Copies of this chain bind each other. A is one copy, B any other.
Amino acid sequence: MTEAVSRPTLEAVAARAGVSRATVSRVVNGAGGVREPLAERVRQAVAELGYVPNQAARSLVTKRHQAVAVVIAEPETRVFADPFFALQLRGISKELTAQDNQLVLLLIEGRDDHARVARYLAGGHVDGALVFSLHLDDPLPGLIQGASVPTVFGGRPGWGAGTGRTRAQGPGVVYVDCDNRGGARAAVRHLVGLGRGRVAHITGALDQTSAVDRLDGYRDVMGEVPGGYDSRLLAESDFTPAGGERAMRELLDRCPDLDAVFAANDLTALGALRVLRERGRRVPVDVALIGFDDMLSVAEQTDPPLTTVRQDIEEMGRLMARLLLQVLSGGRAQDTPEAPAGSTAPAAPDAGLILPTKLVRRASA
């Protein structure tokens, strides 16, 4: 390993440019108020010495770290089985990078990890946090509140809505989500519009709001069509292919007359598709099938290719980061950043930014 020679300091730059440390600091931080010839000399010295500010020293006085924690709380392997997580990360990374912030990744694997992460966040090592994959019973929100770290959630947090737990942070909570309910409605409406009368739904893991919201969307539409809603057409699952298979078998056994399925996500649809084929049901002729997510590696690869509801995952990540940085720089969360056309920022009480979804027609419905 090469010997790490000590890097040049502000002092060194000042000496070389023949000015004071204060002046160098001003130039480096673009504070202005420095006459051009001087500034130029400083820039020159910086370049010659290859000066890079010492972030630790800077943080010590500014109390800012230019760093944001990304907390992924997914003990299960699910997150790792689909590119969801990677895409969000990519969006986040882009935005943070653009605003010169670093991304500190905190993965939560086991139960004790919660304490560790909470301690880290409370330790004031980062300026803010981006938190994902919350389940209804997740202790994280409480811990985060205790740490009093500015936070933006990915996906509408479950508490405050359902169970009676820590709902203290109800209003004031900032999150970014896609229009799960609207997307589900669009999917089911499409199936109904195709003339399908017996539309089933395989839910996601119902301890996550995305699953609940998609189920609600399904109910919205099925409730409208005469004789549409039938609880036997509902099978609870967990967002996985295996879960999709199980649920599809169950549905087929219970309601052999079903002629369409709206699956909570593409992975679930994949499982359902396998069972449908196995049982000799043709898709979409006998049974029309729609997924959710538009995970290209799945939806485009199935046979037939999957009709599904697209959400812009990378954009969600980017928006989360943008929102957080905005909060950090003193902006109110409500002042939504240039939200993409079609997204919704409900007035109150939560500061949620909802991205639009879009039905993508392929061959399965």
Contact = CB atoms under 8 A, between A and B. Distances in A.
Contact of A123 (B52, B104, B296): B52
Contacts of A97: 107, 113, 116
Contacts of A21: none
A86 B90 contact: no
Nearest to A126: B102
A60 interface: yes
A236 B124 CA distance: 51
A18 to B, nearest CB: 25
Nearest to A240: B297
A241 interface: yes
A341 interface: no
A56 B65 contact: yes
A314 to B, nearest CB: 9
A166 interface: no
Nearest to A70: B105
Contacts of A82: 83, 297
A80 B327 CA distance: 29
Interface stretch (A2-10, A187-195, A222-230): A2-10
A80 B84 CA distance: 9
8 contacts: A2-B145, A54-B60, A55-B125, A57-B60, A60-B60, A80-B90, A103-B104, A105-B105
A1 interface: yes
Contacts of A296: 81
Interface size range on A against B? 35 or more
Interface string A99-129: 0001111110100010010011011110000
A44 interface: no
Given A122-B52, A124-B54, A90 B107 contact: yes
Given A4-B148, A97-B116, 14 more contacts: A4-B124, A7-B124, A50-B122, A52-B122, A52-B123, A52-B124, A53-B123, A54-B124, A56-B59, A81-B83, A94-B107, A102-B104, A103-B104, A105-B105
Contacts of A123: 7, 52-53, 55
Contacts of A301: 241, 270
A231 to B, nearest CB: 30
Contacts of A119: 52
A349 B7 CA distance: 30
Contacts of A104: 67, 102-105
Interface in A49-81: 50, 52-57, 59-60, 65, 67, 70, 79-81
Nearest to A7: B124
A89 interface: yes
Contacts of A65: 56
